[in-house]
């Protein structure tokens, strides 16, 4: 199961950054989020998996697709100088990053081979809710404030559009 979802996740992620058409990119990103949901399920994190589908594949991607439709951007034209160089250097940097991180992980293995016996119980909505409203109550309130600020910020950014346009 892990291999299927891992290969799927890497493939859809690569698809996302290589498609010229933004809508194709967005669709493969949705597929990527579902692959990650599968990976979370292999880790017994049921509630995180559910929230991943709801928040990412649902809310955030609707927003992204909506903006793509609204702006009506077409295929990305490969114009301008230095495009080839930029892509090559970027890919090289990515490979370097993977090699670097993998070297560290392989050199100092964590030695953990199996899920913790508690993995099944900490992934449930019950355990997460209990923790969220006791230990993490303050961050929870802070996040609600952050979301409010983001809400007001985006409304203001969008409202100016109507007045000026």
Partner 1 sequence: MLPTSIPLDYYLILSAVLFAIGVVGVVTRRNAIIIFMSIELMLNAVNLSMVAFSAFSGDIAGQMFVFFIMAVAAAEAAVGLAIVLALFRNKQTVYVDEINIMKW
Nearest approach, Cβ of 91 to partner 1 (angstroms)?
Answer: 6
For residues 55 and 37, give the distance between their C-alpha atoms in angstroms, rounded to a whole number. Answer: 12
Half-sphere exposure of 6 (CA within 13 A, CB side): 5
Q: At closest approach, how far in Å is the CB of 155 from partner 1?
A: 8
In the complex, the smallest distance separating the C-beta of residue 92 from partner 1, rounded to whole angstroms, is: 9
Cα within 13 Å of Cα(32), Cβ side = 17
Task: Give the length of the chain.
Answer: 165
DSSP code at position 73: -
CB of 3 to partner 1, least distance (A): 9
Q: Is 38 helix (H, G, I), strand (E, B) or coil?
A: helix
């Amino acid at each position: 199961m892990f291999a299927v979802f891992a290969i799927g996740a890497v493939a859809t992620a690569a698809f996302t950054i290589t498609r010229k058409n933004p809508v194709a990119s967005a669709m493969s990103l949705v597929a990527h989020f579902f692959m990650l949901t599968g990976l979370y399920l292999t880790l017994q994190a049921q509630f995180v998996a559910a929230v991943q589908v709801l928040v990412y594949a649902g809310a955030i991607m609707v927003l992204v697709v909506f903006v793509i439709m609204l702006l009506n951007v077409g295929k990305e034209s490969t114009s301008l100088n230095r495009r080839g160089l930029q892509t090559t250097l970027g890919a090289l940097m990515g490979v370097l990053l993977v090699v670097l991180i993998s070297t560290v992980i392989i050199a100092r293995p964590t030695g953990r081979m199996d899920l913790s016996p508690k993995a099944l119980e900490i992934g449930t909505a019950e355990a997460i809710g209990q923790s969220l409203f006791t230990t993490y109550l303050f961050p929870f309130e802070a996040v609600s404030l952050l979301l409010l600020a983001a809400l007001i910020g985006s409304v203001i950014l969008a409202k100016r559009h109507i007045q000026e346009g």
